[in-house]
Amino acid sequence: MHKKVQALTIPAQRIKIIPDSHPLPKGHDLSDTLIKIRGLKFSRGERMIIDGIDMDIPRKGITAIMGPSGTGKTTLLKLIGGQLHPDAGSIEVDGQNVHKLKTSQLYALRKRMGMLFQSGALLTDLSVFENVAYPLREHTRLSEGLIRQLVLLKLNAVGLRGAAQLMPSELSGGMARRVAMARAISLDPMMIMYDEPFTGQDPISKGVLVKLIRELNNVLDICSIVVSHDVQETLSIADYVYVISDGEIVGHGRPEDCKVSDSEWIRQFIDGLADGPVPFHYPAESVLDDLITGNTKS
């Protein structure tokens, strides 16, 4: 029932984007694609999580993937990282089809990807310093002195050099994410994926994270993918936005386009309206049936 309503309303209201009509931000070249997703489908059990997505993510700049909770955004990142296998379709990262790679090739590709998990995913039995040093120790044979220098530089970049000797349990959520960012850039990747970086952060932490994502992207000149449902923060840093709902792309364009879009769906999402194309009520029998006559299938 739920699904049917969506399918009827959304495709008609996709926002129209004409990429050539506006000059794109500097360094944001749509033609140089790093990640190319075609016809991607993924389901868990009988639930379709991603239902046919085509997406191009450029080599430089920040691409945001937005949408309500539970619409397969995190799943999409895991598919790009090769942690999940799609039912159909393909993902090419830097010309390599992620799901056709051998394990060793996939691992080689992952060394060039950074990923920031929602919780930070720091290794709890290692100190902040060791966490950032971990990828370096695993994948390089640098001397201890060099590792120390690199780690402190990366920690300095996120403003946490002073916290190097703390344990992850002593960090606040925002600090843990910043440490995780330092770790994600320790191998100088070509791209970083941020999974819900702003969720559950106070306004100051959000501000810090926004600034860091923007700065890191500019300084390292890489591809950043931000998955989020925090509208204002994400729109403020993104160069390009994809909006997903129910496993499908319902719109994409530059942030300015989204802000002025007249799509009913985009409006509901951006303005945070309680009812709209995504209904307030979870699909159910009518109130009359349910409460008065008690005439329900249980």
Partner 1 sequence: MMLLFDKLQSLGHSSLTSLQRLGRGHVFLMQVLPAMEGMLFRPGLLIRQMYSVGVLTLLIIVVAGLFVGMVMALQSYYALVDFGAEDSVSVMVVLSLLRELGPVVTALLFAGRAGSALTAEIGLMKATEQLSGMEMMAVNPIERVIAPRFLAGFLSMPLLAAIFSAVGVMGGYLVAVELLGLDAGAFWSQAVSNVDLYHDLGNGMIKSAVFGFVVVWIAVFEGYDCVPTSDGLGKATTRTVVHSSLAVLGLDFVLTALMFSE
State the residues that interact with partner 1 by CB under 8 A: 78, 81, 83, 107-108, 110-111, 113-115, 117-119, 121-124, 134-135, 138-139, 180, 183
Which runs of consecutive H residues, i.e. helices, occur in the chain?
A: 2-9, 73-80, 103-110, 128-139, 144-157, 173-184, 203-220, 231-237, 255-260, 264-271, 287
Q: How far apart, in whole angstroms, are the C-alpha atoms of residue 39 and residue 91? A: 9
Q: How far apart, in whole angstroms, are the C-alpha atoms of residue 176 and residue 123? A: 11
User: What's the min distance (Å) between Cβ of 111 and partner 1?
Assistant: 5
User: What's the min distance (Å) between Cβ of 235 and partner 1?
Assistant: 26
User: What's the min distance (Å) between Cβ of 22 and partner 1?
Assistant: 34
User: What's the min distance (Å) between Cβ of 181 and partner 1?
Assistant: 13
User: What's the min distance (Å) between Cβ of 182 and partner 1?
Assistant: 13
Quick one: DSSP state of residue 291? Answer: I
Residue 7 or 108: the one with the smaller Cβ distance to partner 1 is: 108
Of 237, 241, 238, 236, the residue nearest 251 (C-alpha) = 241
Of 68, 244, 201, the residue nearest 212 (C-alpha) = 201
User: What's the min distance (Å) between Cβ of 115 and partner 1?
Assistant: 4
Residue 115 or 231: the one with the smaller Cβ distance to partner 1 is: 115
**Edge-to-edge strand ranges of the sheet holding 223-228:** 113-116, 191-195, 223-228, 61-66, 240-245, 248-253
Residue 31 or 104: the one with the smaller Cβ distance to partner 1 is: 104
Q: Three-state DSSP class for 70?
A: coil
Residue 25 or 81: the one with the smaller Cβ distance to partner 1 is: 81
Residue 183 or 206: the one with the smaller Cβ distance to partner 1 is: 183
Q: Three-state DSSP class for 263?
A: coil
Residue 36 or 137: the one with the smaller Cβ distance to partner 1 is: 137
